[in-house]
Amino acid sequence: MAKEGKVGHLVKGIAEDVYQYLIAKDSLVSWLKDQSTALKNIASLLSPGGQCLLVIPASQQPAAVWNRLAQMDRWKKYSEILTKHVSKSHTMKSKKEQLAYMSAMLREAHLSPSIFVLPRLVTFEGWSEEDVIAAHMGIVPINLLVAEEEKNQLLEDVTTLVKEIHGPGSDQSLFRNYVIMATKY
């Protein structure tokens, strides 16, 4: 999906500013392993001096659940699917490392950030436990692939992991969002 040069057929001409394309936390950029090419594609939509606003999870709770599921023996057969949409920045523990990683990708895409922050991700704050579990079940990549007899086990495992990852003893500061205002040069 994020092949370099593949956005030309989607738009006519180059935009000065891109604010509505791939912005939300659930944007395509957050679900791609190859975020570098995705950023280059966004930059290709901009004229020199054009700006874009990007809000992209650096690390997020769903990816933590998927990684943990992929490590369980019973879900190993789905490990490639579970980790396919986990970005490299998700496995980085420090803000410094995540910022350096994104800085390099922005440079490669010829985007210069004027705003570049990495605040804590608050996606599920204030949600009930049931709603958080339902959201995770709705987006877990293997939900539609597991056999009918495995569905209850998947729900049980996701529920357990959600309680661990979202629980009061968990470190929510590990989940961060890139907020970037960048100009193409």
Q: Could you tell me the CATH number of the domain that includes residue 171?
A: 3.40.50
User: Which residue is listed with tokens 């001409």?
Assistant: 13
| Domain boundaries, position 108 | 15-184
Strand-pair category, 15-18 with 46-59:
parallel
How many structural domains comprise the chain? Answer: 1
- For residue 8, being part of any structural domain is answered with no
- For residue 9, being part of any structural domain is answered with no
Q: Which residue has the higher pLDDT, 2 or 84?
A: 84
Residue-averaged pLDDT of the chain: 87
Handedness of CA 145, 146, 147, 152 (dihedral sign): negative
- For residue 99, being part of any structural domain is answered with yes
Q: Residues 53-68: pLDDT tens digits?
A: 998 889 999 999 999 9
| Side-chain half-sphere CA neighbours of 51 within 13 A | 8
| Residue 11, H or E segment | none
User: Which residue is listed with tokens 């490639």?
Assistant: 80
- For residue 4, being part of any structural domain is answered with no
**Do the Cβ atoms of 111 and 51 come closer than 8 Å?**
no
- For residue 75, being part of any structural domain is answered with yes
pLDDT of 25 reads 40
| Residue 43, H or E segment | helix 35-44
User: Which residue is listed with tokens 């396919």?
Assistant: 84
Q: Residues 9-45: pLDDT tens digits?
A: 455 456 666 554 444 444 566 666 678 988 998 899 8
Please give the Cα distance from 183 to 61 (Å, whole number). Answer: 30
- For residue 73, being part of any structural domain is answered with yes
First to last CA, the chain: 25
pLDDT of 22 reads 44
- For residue 153, being part of any structural domain is answered with yes
- For residue 5, being part of any structural domain is answered with no
